[in-house]
Structure formats: C-alpha cells, structure tokens
Amino acid sequence: MARSMRTVLAAAAAATLLAGPAAHAAPTPNAAPAPQDEPQLLLVHGHSAPDEGTDCNGTGGTWADALNYFESAGGLDRDRMTTVAYYEGNAAGGPNEGNCDVTVSEATADTSIEDIAKDLANHVHDTYTAEGRAVNIAAHSMGGLVTRVALLGTAEGWDGFPPSMDVENVTTAGTPHQGVAEERDDYTEQWDQMEPGSDFLEMLHGEGRALGDAWTEGTDWTVIGSDADEIVDHDSALDDGSAPDQAFGYVDNGSAIGHSGLRTISGPPHDYNLTYRNSSGEHHTADGWAPLKTLFKAATETGDGLP
C-alpha cells in the first residue's frame, strides 16, 4: 500500500478492524502470469529441512489455507499468486519437486540466508521488475528474513544482487527479525543465523538498516506476530524498536495463534484481541481480523476499499 495511505489504514482499521542466479523452475500452469498492470503476490515459506524441501500447494501444505482463503474470501485469482521455494528438496529430483510454483534456489543445510535472498532478489528482478511488473510479498517465519535481505542487499548494491526490485508491499508473519525464541540444536546454517546474538542478526540491525530507514522507501512494510508463538516471540516478530509502516500483534488470545497459526487461521473473521500501530499511533481491538485476513489485507491493499 502507498505510504500516503497509512493514515487511511489507521482510520479504517480503528473503525472496523477485523523469510544470484535466476529461478531454477518456471511457474506451474496454475501460477501463470497475471495481467501486466496487477502485482503478483509471492508467498515465501519459512525454515524446513533443505533435503526434504517444502510442500507449498498440496492438501495440508504450507500455503494451502492461505491460497484457499485469498482466492475465496479475498477474490484473488490463483494465477495472481505464486508460491516460492528455495531448498534443494524442491529442485529437480527432490522429494518435493513441483510442490511449489517456483524454486528460486537450491539451498542446502550450509547455504546462508544471504545467498537464498540473492537468488530471490534476482528472480523478482528478472521475472517481474525487468518486465515492468511489481510484486507483493507475503512471507512466513524465515521467509521474511529472506525477503528483507533480498530488498536490503538490492538497495545497498551487494555483490550479486540485482540493480532493482519493484516490491509494493511486504508482509512478514512470525518472522524472527530479532531472532528465534525456541532453543534447539539445528543442523542448518540458516537456523544458526537466526539465533539471538548471531553475526547475521548484528548485520541485519546495523546503522541505517532498520525497518523504516531509507532503504525501505518505495515498499510498504507490515509485520505480524503473536504472544502465543513459542518459536518467534511477539517482540521479535514485530521487530520491536524499529518503525515498519504497520505492525499487528495478536495478544491475550490464549494458545490459539501459534507460529503456524499466523499463516493458517482464517476464522472466525472477527474474534481476536489485536493490537496494531502505524503512523497514527497504537490501537487495540477485541474484534480483530483473523490472521489470514490480516496477512491478505496487509499484503494486497493499496489503501482503497478498506472496510
């Protein structure tokens, strides 16, 4: 959504609030290009086992509930949504080959988030930006970090990143902007980078790199978190202390909205304690949007037609 519409969102929400090389695979027929004047919505999954990859589209898949909701309740045609994978398990010959619309990288357990982000950035540039098309991005968990670094590296001209990315909206749900809360031994470089105090997180929060700083200009940023998320706590998901355009926090809802719930729960549509903040300040409602409604609105609205 355009930055000039932030106050529109605030007023409307107060009234009725409800994670390089080009891509390794082309979109499936279900993810055919949308009309040239419409942004494509990219859905970027989070951390999983690299050798297994991710099932984005299948029954019970990572994005199955979101795809169904965005199409049925949001009115977004399936061909305007593209699920994005980046692990070797989604590449040719992998156990999840073809189970996401595109595979932009072939990351292994030793691949850094920066390298995955570089591949995503080049995919967006080559497939959309260079063709005069914008995208919106909805990302869950580590997918939000992949997206953030893709845009940061492009803005700062990091080696191997493209010259530009035309991204209108980014919405991250349960993304560990300040690190994961869950303590566990993991076998991937990516998880190590998400541990609090890592060099990666220190880099991500260097001077001038916060959400709301100059590098984010031209893209509307929304962050979503839940106090029932045991993997990424509320403050980390909302990148507490930074200034995204919008921040939505699910609080005092019991254990209903955990980490996966931020990308799966669609109903009831108005029945959640939700605190949100933007340029007009901080607000609260006990009649808040369901997580998938928040994710959809934040990732696709331009400021017009808000409820």
Task: State the chain's mean pLDDT as an integer.
Answer: 88
d(CA 179, CA 6): 27
Of the candidate ranges 5-19, 65-79, 239-253, 278-292, the one whose mean pLDDT is the lowest: 5-19
CB 63 within 8 A of CB 56: yes
Please give the pLDDT value at position 180.
98
Entry pTM:
0.88
108 occurs within a structural domain: yes
Q: At what angle do helices 64-72 and 291-300 cross, to 10 degrees?
A: 70
Domain that holds residue 238: 3-18+26-300
78 occurs within a structural domain: yes
CB 87 within 8 A of CB 107: yes
307 occurs within a structural domain: no
d(CA 119, CA 153): 11
pLDDT at residue 22 above 50? no
Please give the pLDDT value at position 36.
62
Q: Region 71-91: what's the mean pLDDT?
A: 97
306 occurs within a structural domain: no
305 occurs within a structural domain: no
Please give the pLDDT value at position 35.
53
160 occurs within a structural domain: yes
- Per residue in 253-305, pLDDT tens? 999 899 999 999 998 888 999 999 887 788 999 999 999 999 999 999 854 33
Of the candidate ranges 12-16, 59-63, 140-144, the one whose mean pLDDT is the lowest: 12-16
- Per residue in 209-243, pLDDT tens? 999 999 999 999 999 999 999 999 999 999 999 99
Find the CATH number of the domain harbouring 14: 3.40.50.1820
128 occurs within a structural domain: yes
Q: Measured in whole angstroms, how far is the alpha carbon of residue 83 from the centre of its chain? A: 11
d(CA 173, CA 160): 27
**Residue 27's pLDDT band (cuts 50, 70, 90):** very low
The position carrying tokens 């009309």 is 35
Considering its fold, how many domains does the chain have in total? 1
User: In sequence order, which residues have a C-beta less than 8 Å from that of residue 2 and are 6 or more positions away?
Assistant: 220, 302, 303
What letter represents residue 243's amino acid?
A: A
pLDDT at residue 14 above 60? no
* Two structure tokens written together for 233: 């706590």
User: In sequence order, which residues have a C-beta less than 8 Å from that of residue 261 and are 6 or more positions away?
Assistant: 226, 228, 291
Query: Which candidate, 136, 229, 125, 107, places its Cα nearest to that of 177?
Result: 229
pLDDT at residue 66 above 90? yes
pLDDT at residue 47 above 80? yes
